[in-house]
A and B are shown apart, each in its own frame.
Chain A
């Protein structure tokens, strides 16, 4: 096996301190999962001698990447796990991985008749059947599908600009596209006020779900398609913004680290979280905000793992807290356990739910009116765990923008 630079560095740098094992949410609840150190670094080193196959338990890794954020030695240990995972022999439940590895597929399909789709994914007998046939859990919360896609809504939206607008490219991601277009629309509306025209090219899925489902071939296809778009669109100093932290992380990091697509390096400095983009315009934004509400609601903030790992701080939280003066408390309870499609899988649903207990307990202790988080699948999980409304910071912000 020829190692990539990332793998060699991992072997060089890991001091086996086990801090990653301690922080791994899956290892905490599931003893079948030995931990990032063992599956990532230890295995890789031993495999050089014995040419052995990855440990099958690596399939339990949710790619939340908590391990990478805590490692004191800069080891990309979560990424090692994804690489190992993709070397596992193909599993029998290929159909499910096929479905999950491209959410846009299901999105486009259900979109033909969303009510039926939502009903079907909610119906008990259908759920039972999908669990038995394709291995999708009947217990897990299913994201609901929107009646209109983001693209449809965007087409209808015609903002008026007082001067010639600046342009910014936006990657909405599948969740915004098919499940919660309001996130994207909130962003578009806020940006219009800041005199930005939002360009949404015909991107494909970022490919993060395909990575977690060990379908690197798919990710690669998406990445190459998306790269072509970036080459065309990111000129004249245009920036690319994201509302979904996982999509952001995938563009910034995974394409390079997992697929080896070095070409992305040229664009990474133009990519950022939409919250950060807005923060850069904080003065203008402040002027757009309505007077602060007198009766203030209490919010909790859940920090998505991939946002943490992307190394951009929590700009959404800063916006709501320091700009809007919202009463919002960080939960700091770790991973919610959903990790994209992870928590939807029959054999992993319990792992996901147990991990989520931390978040659930923290929310119970705080007793907020709503929870705020950037990640779509986190919001599905947190909503299922707490039965509270869960919103994207952009949605909350948009509500406060003057008409």
Chain B
């Protein structure tokens, strides 16, 4: 017999859109469950650029997007401060960039309410000596840096506190309907293959790039174009502020100092295979060429890896203009499939991470209306981590609350019980044994890669060389009870870490890969373990 569970609303997809919706529903007290086919933030919400837009980038081309961005930028800095580094951003005009654009841009910004100030080039160069001397003008804008994985988890932890249920590694595999209305859903556990059924009234399809596949389960066609963006990760900070190119948006325009690294991006190419999107060497070159104009020495900075994310773009109504997709509006849309004759099924497409909260608010407002529920949205007022939990006794910001939201307390507690676990496990990103062991013990952590998204292990210079072994070993008792065999987890983890390095395998990074191979192949003989046992 298949288990039948009940809920009111089911949200498909654990990216920022989905988690924003589940949080909104939970804060309104509406019974809801979110299903995510993999780990949370497995899609574009982690494989993105890390920029909390001020809106300035859209000031000319997409005015409404610009306005939404700045509104949300201000709200998120308040409610999601633990996930944001309020670094500020710069728009820089290279000597080859058109002057005419600037007037238009300044007007757009001012109309959208984006605070723009011209700053002295000399001051900027003093603070960022690596920047090009060929800059004509520089403006500061209220850009920020945002950690997608932290944001996703902080939303989910809070939603769960308010009673929401979140199921990871659970894929929506079927939608039950009766009389033109959604009645339930079939989901499958992607780790065990086990299926189960849910009764629900409404399904919100927030599956991002996969939204068309989800819609197809009911036979509905969604016209979605998939657009791949490639990003480069440098081993260190090249700048302390976000740097944007002041021109009509193009490839390689944005440089974001994300935590310890710098991310340069992005490109824009349509793709048919969102699941296996990977950077090409051509794209790496395009980005380096663009980056070189702002940072002439860019080739002398070490590249750690390259990765690609896929954006879903709505391609209905013949709006597609350009083969590289840049002119398709990225604005978000809500589709109520009542228009297709199915009530209780809603799909979302597009949007930005920066505006995830607003998207959720609009969506839930709409859903409430159709379901006849009258509850006000509170997501703009209630912070993800309240100040009581964020600050320690002596008024300092609690590092664990920043990293793990309201679950920081659990790490604090674990550390109190096991003080010897204060020592560092990952020296590149400064992560302690306590963090890894506690996070590994959570049910939502199914393997090393899940652990990575929550703690940042494997994200630093050595790309998993020490931390994968140490994490597995120190959290062994938790990890060996996960669905995947722990050594299999290790192999998959190393494989994924390698995948991103493959397209930048030169200079120090090829050494790093040789070293990693030396340890896991030469010393641990891990490839034979694979072959010889039932792992």
The reply, when asked whether chain A contacts chain B directly with Cβ atoms under 8 A, is yes
Residue B465, interface by CB 8 Å: yes
Q: How many A-B residue pairs have CB under 8 A?
A: 61
Q: Is the CB of B515 within 8 A of A48?
A: no
Across the two chains, which residue of chain B brings its CB closest to A52? Answer: B430
Q: Is the CB of B302 within 8 A of A11?
A: yes
Whether A46 contacts B260 in the complex (CB less than 8 A), given A8-B236, A16-B462, comes out as: yes
Residue A386, interface by CB 8 Å: no
Residue B213, interface by CB 8 Å: no
Across the two chains, which residue of chain A brings its CB closest to B461? Answer: A16
CB distance from A104 to the nearest CB of B (A): 36
Number of residues from A at the complex interface, CB < 8 A: 17
Please, what's the 1-or-0 string for A72-87, where 1 marks a CB less than 8 Å from any CB in chain B?
0100000000000000
Interface residues on B, range: 20 to 34
CB distance from B489 to the nearest CB of A (A): 22
CB distance from A261 to the nearest CB of B (A): 18
CA distance in complex: A12, B237 (Å): 11
Q: Which of A37, A38, A45, A73 contacts B236 (CB 8 A)?
A: A45
Q: Is the CB of A45 within 8 A of B461?
A: yes
CA distance in complex: A13, B506 (Å): 12
In the complex, chain A residues whose CB is within 8 Å of the CB of B235: 11-12, 45
CA distance in complex: A73, B511 (Å): 9
Q: Is the CB of A16 within 8 A of B427?
A: yes
In the complex, chain A residues whose CB is within 8 Å of the CB of B331: none
CA distance in complex: A73, B300 (Å): 15
Residue B508, interface by CB 8 Å: yes
Q: Is the CB of B427 within 8 A of A15?
A: no
CA distance in complex: A49, B260 (Å): 5
Q: Which of A13, A14, A37, A45 contacts B260 (CB 8 A)?
A: A45
Q: Is the CB of A48 within 8 A of B127?
A: no
Q: Is the CB of B127 within 8 A of A2?
A: yes
In the complex, chain B residues whose CB is within 8 Å of the CB of A14: 461, 508
Q: Is the CB of A16 within 8 A of B465?
A: yes
CB distance from B463 to the nearest CB of A (A): 10
Please, what's the 1-or-0 string for B432-467, where 1 marks a CB less than 8 Å from any CB in chain A?
000000000000000000000000000011100110
Please, what's the 1-or-0 string for A18-46, where 1 marks a CB less than 8 Å from any CB in chain B?
00000000000000000001100010011
Residue B419, interface by CB 8 Å: no
Residue A17, interface by CB 8 Å: yes
Q: Is the CB of A2 within 8 A of B508?
A: no
Q: Which of A11, A14, A49 has the most CB of B within 10 A?
A: A49
Q: Is the CB of B260 within 8 A of A15?
A: no
In the complex, chain A residues whose CB is within 8 Å of the CB of B127: 2
Across the two chains, which residue of chain A brings its CB closest to B511? Answer: A15
CB distance from B130 to the nearest CB of A (A): 8
In the complex, chain B residues whose CB is within 8 Å of the CB of A16: 427-428, 461-462, 465-466, 512, 515
Residue B28, interface by CB 8 Å: no
CB distance from A369 to the nearest CB of B (A): 45
Q: Which of B244-267 contact A (CB under 8 A)?
A: 257, 259-260
CA distance in complex: A42, B429 (Å): 8
Residues in A lying within 8 Å of B, measured CB to CB: 2, 8, 11-17, 37-38, 42, 45-46, 48-49, 73
**New A-B contacts (11) at CB < 8 Å, excluding given A37-B427, A45-B260, A48-B236:** A8-B301, A11-B302, A12-B235, A13-B302, A16-B465, A42-B427, A42-B428, A45-B428, A48-B240, A49-B257, A49-B259
